[in-house]
Homo-oligomer: A and B are copies of this chain.
């Protein structure tokens, strides 16, 4: 029986040599991979959608921007690894918002050094403080998404970012995911600005208001109001139990 220690490698080395995997496989015959999690962390800063990027301090892709991420540890699950990395990279414990698995990327050659399968996660968070620099020389920063898409991101991270953006845009249509970009309390206007930033479109405030307040159970009225700058104070809501929009909002 294989165990997680040094001896383990020798077992696999001897068994793996020249063998072709077949149905009825035995995991002791496995070709080993590195498994990492990469994070697409989106937030709203100043009405503009931003993504968390780190600047690579080592080859390959030294000096290029990359999605934050790291190895899955031997004793932790994929979701737990994503949560840990999210806390580490943002510098915030128990990051509020939303975290879900996006997809896995494992083309041979995506990392020139060795075979790496990366499980990408999508995180949506309210405006967080400026990220601290990593423990090595690499710096971390919130980068406007439109600028990130023009950069030459490391590895296949441009595609992962594109997939994450598309997932976020699609899920806003039929879910209450927009609230993940806000704090625990928010106004209808806050939500509308989320949609406008993520979709890159302008929405009619009046129809948007009627639509969202018309879904029973979606929003809970706190009874309080909030005034920001000019204009009539807005009703403050909390998340309700209902998380699906039926019928969905459309982005044409």
Q: Which residues of A contact B (CB under 8 A)?
A: 1-2, 4, 6, 8-10, 12-13, 17, 20-36, 54, 57-58, 68, 70-78, 88-89, 101, 103-108, 111, 113-117, 119, 134-138, 247-248, 250
Contacts and interface: CB of A to CB of B under 8 A. Distances in A.
A33 B111 CA distance: 16
Given A68-B23, A113-B2, A104 B89 contact: no
Contact of A27 (B1, B10, B111, B136): B111
Contact of A70 (B17, B23, B103): B23
B6 A9 contact: no
Contacts of A26: 58
- How many copies the complex holds: the figure is 2
B106 A72 contact: yes
A106 B78 contact: yes
Contacts of A25: 36, 70-71
Contacts of A78: 104-107, 117
A233 B13 CA distance: 63
A177 B138 CA distance: 44
B106 A23 contact: no
Nearest to A106: B78
A114 B27 CA distance: 7
Contacts of A12: 9, 32
Contacts of A57: 24
Contacts of A30: 34-35, 71, 114, 116
Contacts of A9: 9-10, 12-13, 32
Given A6-B13, A101-B103, A117-B119, A76 B27 contact: no
Given A23-B89, A33-B35, A89-B23, A113 B1 contact: yes
A224 B119 CA distance: 47
Given A31-B73, A108-B75, A58 B24 contact: yes
A80 to B, nearest CB: 9
B22 A135 contact: yes
A186 B136 CA distance: 59
Contacts of A21: 70-71, 73
Contacts of A10: 9, 13
Contact of A136 (B23, B35, B105): B23
